[in-house]
Amino acid sequence: MAQVTATIASKVGLHARPAATFVKAVAEKGVPVTIAKEGGAAVDASSILGVMTLGAGFGDVVTLSSDADGADAALEELKALLETDLDA
């Protein structure tokens, strides 16, 4: 299983626009990805409701995971996205 951790850089966390941008990027990768807030349960990263229910705020650490072949590159790209202020 491929895993990466990312620190949320958006000032509002993973809410509304940043969450929608992230979920769209996950769908474009074409691999199943889960996201979990440190110490919490993993949710489907392609689900806007799932991502928003994490309650991930600015500075929170999340873990992205995937069992798909070749997921490493996709996870690194998604990590870079989360570590960018998506509301700027």
Q: Which domains does the chain carry?
A: 2-82 (3.30.1340.10)
Task: Read off the pLDDT of residues 11-37 as tens digits, 9 standing for 90 and up.
Answer: 999 998 999 999 999 999 999 999 999
What is the per-residue DSSP string for 26-51? Answer: HHHHTS--EEEETTS--EETT-HHHH
User: What pLDDT, on the 0 to 100 scale, is given for residue 88?
Assistant: 72
Classify the phi-psi angles of 11: left when phi > 0, otherwise alpha if psi is within -120 to 50, otherwise beta.
alpha
* Percent over 70 (pLDDT), the chain: 100
Residues in the chain: 88
User: What pLDDT, on the 0 to 100 scale, is given for residue 70?
Assistant: 84
Rounded Cα distance, 30 and 27, in Å: 6
Handedness of CA 61, 10, 55, 52 (dihedral sign): negative
Task: Read off the pLDDT of residues 68-81 as tens digits, 9 standing for 90 and up.
Answer: 998 999 999 999 99
Residue 87 has pLDDT above 90, yes or no: no
Q: Which of 5, 10, 13, 15 is catalytic?
A: 15
74 is catalytic: no
pLDDT band at 50 (very low <50, low <70, confident <90, very high): very high
